[in-house]
Amino acid sequence: MENKEPITVVIIEDDETIRTGYTYLINANKNYKVLNAYSSVEDALTHLAEDKPQVILLDIELPGIKGIDALPKIKTILPKTHIIMLTVYDSEETVFEALTKGAAGYLTKSNNTEKIIDAIQEVVDGGAPMSTNIAKIVIRSFHKNQNSPLTKRETEILEQVANGKSRSKIAKQMFIDLETVKSHIKNIYVKLNVHSREDAIKEAKNNKYI
């Protein structure tokens, strides 16, 4: 542990107290080194190519370019850098947007500050550090509604429809007649009170039936 190269970190955070606080905290540990701490994305982008940090701590609520919009820009410059999002709010859409854009971790600032070191180590090790409230949001997004009005077969078929399959393809694939598929879809539409594929998919996804 002694003579290993420290893990390099860059912080992008507009609140000076938090910024210097994290910098101090991280630098206090010899295994980690804060290369630079920027107060804006604009500022950071002009220096990141030089810094080449292994990990970036990126605030979401920033003036100017938002942290979320910075993600793809940073990824372009430094594709291998692990980006950990920092936030005070845990808005569901923001969480998912950040994750789809390649965030490796997601922490709320209320988090025990010492945890930040663990999180940095974790992303470097290929992990995905998350605050418990973020984990909850992510896991819940997977949960399906257990009270679906659709039968097992109907759900199966609607899933295929949602995958863009035509009725005839579904029929072939499930080894049933096209008429059977049509019949199921008719029943699905009645149960969901819709009159089109589009609305059926929308309704089913909204209620997590599929």
Partner DNA sequence: ACTCTATCACTCAAAAAGGGGGATTTTTGA
Partner DNA sequence: TCAAAAATCCCCCTTTTTGAGTGATAGAGT
Residues that bind a copy of itself (CB under 8 A): 72, 75-76, 79, 96, 99-102, 104-105, 122, 125-130, 132-133, 135-136, 138-140, 142-144, 146, 161-166, 169, 196-198, 200-202
CB 37 to DNA: min, Å? 28
Question: What is the SS3 assignment for 36-57?
Answer: EEECCHHHHHCCHHHHCCCEEE
On the 0-12 / 13-18 / 19+ scale of CB atoms within 10 A, 157 is buried
Nearer to DNA, 140 or 186 (CB): 186
Nearer to DNA, 33 or 73 (CB): 73
CB 76 to a copy of itself: min, Å? 8
CB 103 to DNA: min, Å? 22
Nearer to a copy of itself, 44 or 103 (CB): 103
What is the rounded distance in angstroms from the CA atom of residue 53 to the CA atom of residue 182?
56
DSSP state of 107: E
Nearer to DNA, 112 or 146 (CB): 146
What is the rounded distance in angstroms from the CA atom of residue 37 to the CA atom of residue 32?
14
The two three-digit tokens of residue 189, written as one number: 């539409």
Structure-token match 């859409």, residue found: 93
CB 146 to a copy of itself: min, Å? 6
User: Which neighbouring-strand residues pair with 108?
Assistant: 87
